[in-house]
Structure 1
Amino acid sequence: MRDIGFIGLGTMGLAMCRRLVEAGHDVAVWNRTPRVGAELVALGGRRVLLEEALGSAVVFSMLSNDAAAEAVFSEENLRLMPAGSVHVGFESLSLAAADSATARHAAAGVDYVAAPVIGRPPVAAAGQLNILLAGKRAAADRVEPLLAELCSRTWYLGDRPRLANLVKICVNYNLIHTLQALSESVAIAERGGVDPALLVELLNSTLYPGPAYGGYGREIAARRYEPVGFSVELGLKDLSLAEQAAAETGTPLPTAPVLREMFERTLAEPDIAELDWAAIAEIVRRERATS
């Protein structure tokens, strides 16, 4: 059993934290919205103040964006963490935010390991995530036994935390293209009189087996965008991270403007703005080509 602090109980954080509690770890949980996490307390987790969660030897976090991560792990708050403790950040950050976090942790004498995850909440609940890992090798080795309870594999990418975030940005940029490709293909099939579920089954059984085409394809074909695994707003955030990383590395992204338009138009539609990010498919469905 390990003493763990867990900060950030959104949909993903909640699923991951539950696994740790059910494994018998002593988990001190903190969330910015206090009412979240009642089920963890019922299972044996401890709801605590932020300073107590930060006082754990190992602190995990799953926060929504750069601003939230910088607010919780500020210079002032990092001074509350014991020297030699490890913070594992599961959130997806921009490269600039990852560099800033690395510098703040080093100044506070706290090891920082970036560990963004690949997988949706049901995958997290089953302990089958893939975790992208970057930070000092010794610190990564210290937390790997705990991470093993959350994932099917860790991918160690190097000693600079930004590298894990860079790879996560690339993964999500590919996934955004997958959503758009499915959106367009399903719309063509529907308008041509083909059952879109059959098209998705064909794609997933032949060219693209796996959770992206299988899971998101079924959602799009059935127009089933709830429960929300990942929101449209967060999808646009991740697209922005890809645009920022491309600008830093001097990489052209010819398709990014079209993808941005799809997300922005989805957010402008009240009936789909709060749904899963696969709901960008509805923008294509609602349009008619003009000649």
Structure 2
Amino acid sequence: MRIGFIGLGAMGQHMAHNLIATGFDVTVWNRSSDKLAPLVEAGATRAVQAADAAACDVLITMLADDDALTTVVDAHDLIEAMPENGVHVNMATCSIECARRMAARHENAGRHYVAAPVLGRPDIAKAAKLNIVAAGDHDAIERARPALEAMGQKVWPAGEAAYKANAIKLATNFMLVSAVEAMGEATSLTSAYGIERADFLEIITNSVFGAPAYLGYSGAMANREYDNPEGFKLALGAKDMDLALAASKAENVPLPVGSTVRDRLSEALAAGDGDLDLAALAEGSRRAAHLDDND
């Protein structure tokens, strides 16, 4: 199977490496060409044009957001460059409306669009342990399944409508960001009573909250070390919360917790924390509680 891969950021680099390591014939393209060298050294083919990556059995994109996806697709005529009945698997977190538009455009052109957003951070992607939520034409998903299984530990089917996978992803990230904010607030509460951050976080992550969402961020929160290149950037959490709130508004589903957490994300962005790990949300709670560095 020939696979085209576009979008070699923190997640995409690891995902493409795993495809190469599994033995797939991978053609790579990225807007920033410096990201290509390590993959070419690992055995990938460097695409001269983005359309070269699209002219494969399966095109995988892992771009930052709706705008990045639309810009690359339109600027390089990727849908037209795909083979007849080709499969485009978009593995990024996108809006519901973007998924609907892309699915319709591909169908009108005689191509297949599969939404397959991933659950996991870059370190999980590197270990090929991602959970992948896939929605779209059943046969198209099955054609792409060998590649998906090379990048993740499980593929979760989500139906024929591509946007359903994105709805699941947005709901998941809404819960994740809310959980990290709650953990930060709880840590500030216990800190105000003289309890060491690390002690409290060790207790909760080894008892009632021993789940990946808490375990993955408690270490950074305990040590107040948020500069993690393998982490989930706070700015991306804000983007995903915006998408979740937009999806909720479209269907009149109240998300009062989401609105409150979005305010805290806005405060963190204003404080310059956007490029830090999502665990830096805890600093907003500390600032609001007027805790000093000894608390």
TM-score category, normalised to shorter length: over 0.9
TM-score by length of 2: 0.94
Contact 1:201 1:214 in 2 (8 A): no
Please state how far the C-alpha of 1:109 moved relative to its aligned partner.
1.2
Residue number in structure 2 paired with 1:204: 205
Moved runs in structure 1, 4+ residues, more than 4 A? none
Residue number in structure 2 paired with 1:253: 255
Residue number in structure 1 paired with 2:126: 125
Deviations 1:106-129 (A, max 9, x none): 111111110000011111111111
Please give the alpha-carbon distance, in whole angstroms, between the structure 2 residues aligned to 1:248 and 1:146. 33
Deviations 1:153-192 (A, max 9, x none): 1110100000000000100000011111111011122222
Contact 1:117 1:130 in 2 (8 A): yes
The share of aligned pairs that are identical, in percent, is 37
Please state how far the C-alpha of 1:85 moved relative to its aligned partner.
1.1
The gaps in structure 1 that reach 5 residues or longer are none
Contact 2:245 2:259 in 1 (8 A): no
Q: Secondary structure at the match of 1:287?
A: helix
Please state how far the C-alpha of 1:288 moved relative to its aligned partner.
2.7
Residue number in structure 1 paired with 2:83: 82
How many residue pairs get matched?
Answer: 287
Contact 2:115 2:136 in 1 (8 A): yes
Please state how far the C-alpha of 1:257 moved relative to its aligned partner.
2.5
Please give the alpha-carbon distance, in whole angstroms, between the structure 2 residues aligned to 1:77 and 1:130. 26
Contact 2:61 2:90 in 1 (8 A): yes
Contact 1:112 1:135 in 2 (8 A): yes
Residue number in structure 2 paired with 1:93: 94
Please state how far the C-alpha of 1:6 moved relative to its aligned partner.
0.3
Please give the alpha-carbon distance, in whole angstroms, between the structure 2 residues aligned to 1:233 and 1:122. 18
Deviations 1:88-136 (A, max 9, x none): 1101111111100001111111111100000111111111110001001
Residue number in structure 2 paired with 1:57: 57
Letter of the aligned partner of 2:238 in structure 1? L
Q: Secondary structure at the match of 1:226?
A: coil
Contact 1:74 1:104 in 2 (8 A): no
Letter of the aligned partner of 1:220 in structure 2? M
User: Over aligned residue pairs, what C-alpha RMSD do you find?
Assistant: 1.4
Deviations 1:229-276 (A, max 9, x none): 222221111001111110111111112222111111111113x23211
Please state how far the C-alpha of 1:146 moved relative to its aligned partner.
1.6
Deviations 1:55-103 (A, max 9, x none): 1111111110001111222393311111011111101111111100001
Residue number in structure 2 paired with 1:265: 267
Residue number in structure 2 paired with 1:34: 33
Please give the alpha-carbon distance, in whole angstroms, between the structure 1 residues aligned to 2:228 and 2:221. 13
